[in-house]
């Protein structure tokens, strides 16, 4: 049993001894200051009113009733009645040994849960939008957090392969003679179509008509569409591979549209209403806003397609218990309506979690990043720009393959900058800060991991076997390592990867300070413990970086 569980049990027993009826779980948290201990509880404040005692007076009674708690060296009262617990040297040494295992940080939090997680989901026929890049990075991290917490996770991509965006691209191919098997030519064709559409006139009418004909099944137009879709998907898969993502299921908008339209038509008068030739969901009746699900021409809108999307996904994965769609924060109100409609259409969704996970908008601090899309900063251009910049820095590394390292650093740079923000918060992307090997960055965490790996390599050469010493004086690094499982659990519960990024930077900073002050391989009897501590930090950084979807190189 972990020290945290011993503390929880001892608190529950102490409160029972004092005759306090508990309606809520006992909450334990980590004090912000390491000097204040490893765990803290506000139980005295929580139950003071019930007992008629002042919080601090109740805290004194709780501490007296606790007695000796296994794994705890010292218990103290702070402030108005918080109770702080300091772990013992033996408990921390036991944790360090556990932290050296590859499974470190995993839990059974979501055992038995089946999570359907949809993310990335770009419009095809155009360069990868930076919003889709952000969605991919957030979605992949959430998938790993759920997986680390014992959930069955199904990663789903829902690309848009039909609709106005695609029609613009097909029109552009016709007008420019572009080769739909060439991704860059495809992008140029889309830009030509988009520009023509925005200018209006005959071109806009032609594209609208072309869009209608594609929906109606025009064989020639759909052959062009399918060729472009194939090229776009191959390019998307290459980018996803670089980002460390592979999907379990890919569902296309063209498939979902037909299913969704049929469901909507069959529920007119029950869930949906006819309005001015269209079919709408009357959101005002549910405290929301009204949205069109079938337009006046009878074609499914994005809303109806999302109904079909839900039907097809949950029909394929019938054991699902949680369902998340990761997209931009600007779609919050859209998804409130869609999810309300889903809950009315599918009774099983009423008892399960169906939610939209909002992502922020990424804005660069400078316009210097190159882009093949003219003035538009695409997800691809950001990765390419970071990769080129990282190559210069990788030349000075110890890595055997500097190009591979540069790509790993580029991925770390962009992922960390996105994931360090709370869900839905906008991201200000600073390239120089993102690539920095000092402080608040992904490459800094990679460098810290590489440093621990180098120390362990030297320890092996010198024949020093890692072994945590139960009598060693606790330090901040050991205390931080012990917090990792709690950090992962909290991040998974709140669906907030930034909790992991904040923790990892704190751990890396503490270890690097320790490294600057302590000679680890000094030949003393304390070396095995110091090497075990280093190994625990290495594994914690590696597992934490994995949760962020960031590679952990051993040489930098």
Could you tell me if 434 and 386 are in contact, meaning their C-beta atoms sit under 8 angstroms apart? Answer: yes
Domains of the chain: 3-87 (3.30.1360.70), 164-241 (no CATH)
Residue 140: the pLDDT is 98
Half-sphere exposure of 72 (CA within 13 A, CB side): 26
221-242 average pLDDT score: 96
Residue 25: the pLDDT is 77
Q: How many other CB atoms are there within 10 angstroms of residue 347's CB atom?
A: 8
Dihedral of alpha carbons 40, 486, 324, 352, sign: negative
Model confidence over 413-471: pLDDT tens digits?
A: 999 999 999 999 999 999 999 999 988 999 999 999 999 999 999 999 999 999 999 99
391-397 average pLDDT score: 84
Residue 93: the pLDDT is 97
Residue 371: the pLDDT is 38
159-169 average pLDDT score: 95
390-398 average pLDDT score: 85
Whether the pLDDT of residue 136 is over 70: the answer is: yes
How does the average pLDDT of the chain come out, rounded? 94
User: How distant, in Å, are the alpha carbons of 8, 10, 12, 470 from that of 53?
Assistant: 22, 21, 18, 39
- Residue linked to tokens 């069959």: 266
Whether the pLDDT of residue 151 is over 70: the answer is: yes
Model confidence over 523-548: pLDDT tens digits?
A: 999 999 999 999 999 999 999 999 99
Model confidence over 44-98: pLDDT tens digits?
A: 999 999 999 999 999 999 999 999 999 999 999 999 999 999 999 999 999 999 9
Residue 2: the pLDDT is 81
Residue 370: the pLDDT is 40
3-state class of 355 per DSSP? strand
128-135 average pLDDT score: 94
Model confidence over 342-391: pLDDT tens digits?
A: 999 999 999 999 999 999 999 888 644 443 344 567 888 899 999 999 99
- Structural element, H or E, at residue 273: strand 273-275
Model confidence over 287-343: pLDDT tens digits?
A: 999 999 999 999 999 999 999 999 999 999 999 999 999 999 999 999 999 999 999
Could you tell me if 429 and 365 are in contact, meaning their C-beta atoms sit under 8 angstroms apart? Answer: yes
Residue 398: the pLDDT is 84
Residue 1: the pLDDT is 65
Q: How confident is the model at residue 399 (pLDDT cuts 50, 70, 90)?
A: confident
Residue 368: the pLDDT is 44
Whether the pLDDT of residue 41 is over 50: the answer is: yes
Query: Phi first, then psi: what are they for 295, rounded to 5°?
Result: -75, 180
């Amino acid at each position: 049993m972990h020290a945290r569980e011993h503390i929880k049990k001892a608190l529950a027993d102490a409160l029972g001894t004092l005759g306090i009826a508990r309606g809520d779980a006992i909450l334990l948290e980590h004090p912000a200051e390491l000097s204040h201990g490893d765990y803290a509880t506000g139980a005295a404040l929580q139950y003071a009113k019930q007992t008629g005692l002042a919080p601090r007076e109740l805290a004194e009674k709780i501490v007296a009733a606790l007695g000796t708690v296994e794994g705890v060296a010292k218990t103290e009262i702070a402030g108005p009645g918080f109770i702080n617990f300091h772990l013992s040297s033996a408990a921390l040494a036991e944790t360090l040994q556990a932290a050296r295992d590859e499974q470190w940080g995993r839990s059974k939090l979501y055992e038995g849960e089946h999570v359907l997680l949809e993310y990335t989901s770009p419009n095809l026929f155009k360069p990868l939008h930076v919003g889709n890049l952000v969605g991919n990075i957030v979605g992949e991290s959430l998938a790993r957090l759920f997986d680390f917490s014992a959930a069955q996770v199904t990663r789903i991509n829902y690309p848009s392969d039909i609709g106005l965006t695609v029609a613009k691209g097909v029109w552009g191919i016709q007008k420019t003679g572009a080769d739909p098997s060439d991704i860059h030519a495809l992008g140029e064709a889309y830009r030509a179509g988009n520009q023509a559409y925005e200018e209006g006139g005959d071109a806009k009418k032609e594209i609208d008509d072309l869009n209608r004909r594609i929906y109606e099944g025009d064989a020639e137009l759909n052959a062009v569409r399918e060729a472009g879709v194939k090229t776009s998907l191959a390019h998307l898969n290459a980018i996803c591979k670089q980002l460390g993502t592979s999907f379990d299921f890919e569902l296309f908008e063209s498939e979902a549209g037909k299913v969704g339209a049929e469901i909507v038509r069959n529920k007119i008068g029950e869930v949906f209403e006819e309005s001015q030739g269209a079919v709408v969901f009357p959101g005002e009746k549910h405290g929301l806003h009204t949205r069109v699900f079938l337009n006046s021409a009878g074609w499914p809108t994005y809303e109806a397609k999302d109904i079909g999307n839900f039907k097809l996904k949950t029909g394929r994965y019938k054991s699902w218990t949680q369902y998340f769609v990761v997209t931009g924060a600007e779609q919050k109100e859209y998804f409130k309506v869609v999810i309300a409609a889903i809950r009315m259409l599918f009774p099983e969704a009423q008892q399960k979690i169906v939610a939209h996970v909002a992502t922020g908008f990424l804005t660069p601090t400078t316009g210097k990043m190159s882009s093949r899309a003219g003035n538009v900063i695409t997800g691809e251009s950001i990765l390419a720009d970071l990769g080129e910049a990282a190559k210069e820095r990788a030349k000075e590394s110890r890595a055997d393959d500097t190009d591979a390292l540069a790509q790993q650093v580029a991925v770390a740079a962009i992922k960390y900058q996105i994931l360090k923000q709370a869900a839905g918060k906008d991201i200000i992307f600073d390239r120089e800060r993102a690539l920095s090997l000092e402080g608040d960055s992904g490459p800094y965490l990679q460098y810290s991991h590489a440093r621990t790996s180098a120390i362990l390599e030297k320890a092996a050469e010198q024949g020093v076997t890692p072994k945590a010493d139960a009598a060693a004086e606790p330090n901040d690094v050991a205390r931080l390592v012990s917090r990792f499982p709690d950090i992962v659990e909290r991040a998974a519960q709140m669906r907030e990867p930034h909790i992991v990024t904040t923790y990892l930077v704190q751990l890396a900073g503490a270890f690097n300070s320790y490294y600057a002050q302590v000679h680890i391989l000094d030949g003393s009897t304390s070396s095995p413990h110091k090497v075990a501590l280093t190994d625990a930090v290495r594994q914690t950084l590696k597992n934490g970086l994995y949760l962020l979807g960031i590679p952990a190189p051993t040489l930098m």
